Structures are given as C-alpha cells and as structure tokens.
Chain A
Amino acid sequence: DGGITQSPKYLFRKEGQNVTLSCEQNLNHDAMYWYRQDPGQGLRLIYYSQIVNDFQKGDIAEGYSVSREKKESFPLTVTSAQKNPTAFYLCASSMDSGGGYEQYFGPGTRLTVT
C-alpha cells in the first residue's frame, strides 16, 4: 500500500527537550510538507521541501528544524525554542510543489509538552 506514515501517533515530552517527529512516504513524491494544527485554526505550514537536500521555511518555522536527506523521509524536530509546541502535527506530500497538485496527508502525531 502506498501512503504516508507518521510515528508515533502520540508523543509526550518535558519542556526544554527537543523531539523529532518521523514522516515517511512511499509515493515517490518530490515535495513534502509539515503542518501544525491547533483547535479552531486551519493548517499552518511549518516547512516544505521541493526536492532532496532542499527545504524552505513556511509561515511558522521559528522553533522548528527539518532535514531532507532522502526522498522518502522528512523528519521534523521541535526544539526547545518553540514556545507553544503542544499541537497536532501533520506531514504531507505531493507529486510536485507546483501547479496545484493534491497533497496527501499522513495520520498525524499529537505532541504534548508539559
């Protein structure tokens, strides 16, 4: 089955700790994205990558970092500099970042920081 996997589904961390969220896709998509979802708000773009070894900041990149060493993988690190890290994080991919391609979403990771 082709798709996007995110792990873990639930993640708990103490304040001051960095945490890395996993995202893997086997759709052979070039573009990958990370979104943050908070109650009552739409999905907000954190980072996106159009191709391996390249990524750009989205609208709310402060306190986050990413890497894209492989086409299939786009991990997100939530650093201790992120002031309000508790949220639902969604990874997505699309065939290409241009031209209005459908984005396929993973099941999400709910991060709770206390």
Chain B
Amino acid sequence: GENVEQHPSTLSVQEGDSAVIKCTYSDSASNYFPWYKQELGKGPQLIIDIRSNVGEKKDQRIAVTLNKTAKHFSLHITETQPEDSAVYFCAASPPYSGTYKYIFGTGTRLKVLA
C-alpha cells in the first residue's frame, strides 16, 4: 500500500524567511496531493493541493511542487509570518478498490520566530 514520508519533523525559521517541507510517496498510482495546516487544538484545514497532471501550483505565499518521476512533492511558504506557525501535513491519495483514501505524512511542526 501507499506510504508517505514527511521531512523535517520540526522546522524553525525567522520571520520573513522561506520554509520548505518535503514529502515522498511510494504508490505511483497516487494522483492527488493535499497539504493541510493544523493549529493547536483544531482540526486540519486544506491550504493547497495539486493533482498529478500539474507540476506546480501557487496561491499567494504558498506553493506546491510535484515531481512524479521521483515521487515527491514539496510545500513552499515564502515571507513567513508568525501566524504560519502550525503543524503541516501532506497526504497522497491513491485509488484503492474504487475509493480514494488519504495517506498522511507524520507532520511538520513549523515555528516562525519573530
């Protein structure tokens, strides 16, 4: 089955710097890759996603890149702000028996230092 590895587990950056979180997946059939942000004590919220027919997607300060050959995808946050501090999860969605399940990475705790 699918396996998703996420690195690093923690990341500290100075306010204004960029942050990059990387995920690798094992199942080449996976075709949807969402990124979720989870603030303390809350449920995860989708911040950006990408499908396998696209190599890059941007939304203001956030971008995601996908390398299907290498089976990895990355989240890029530019001009980081204190409110970006949270846990970020990547996920891969492979089709199993007609149902698309998410396999989540183990999360990255991002701290933006003011």
A56 contacts which chain B residues (CB < 8 A)?
A: 99
How many residues of B are counted as interface, with CB atoms below 8 angstroms from the partner's CB atoms? 28
How many residues of A are counted as interface, with CB atoms below 8 angstroms from the partner's CB atoms? 26
Taking Cβ atoms with an 8 Å cutoff, the residues of B that contact A are: 4, 6, 9, 31-32, 34, 36, 41-46, 49, 51, 89, 93, 95, 98-107
Give the A-B contact count at a CB cut-off of 8 A: 64
Q: Which of A40, A43, A108 contacts B104 (CB 8 A)?
A: A43
Cross-chain contact A100 with B31 (CB below 8 angstroms):
yes
If A42-B4, A42-B89, A98-B98 touch, does A90 touch B104 (CB 8 Å cutoff)?
no
A4 nearest CB across to chain B (Å): 8
When C-beta atoms are compared, the residue in chain B nearest to A41 turns out to be B106
Judged by a CB distance under 8 angstroms, whether A25 is at the interface is no
- Bound CA–CA A28/B45 (angstroms): 18
The residue among B32, B42, B45, B100 with the most chain A CB atoms within 10 A of its own CB is B100
| Residues of A40-86 whose CB lies within 8 A of B | 40-45, 48, 50, 56, 58
If A42-B104, A100-B93 touch, does A105 touch B45 (CB 8 Å cutoff)?
yes
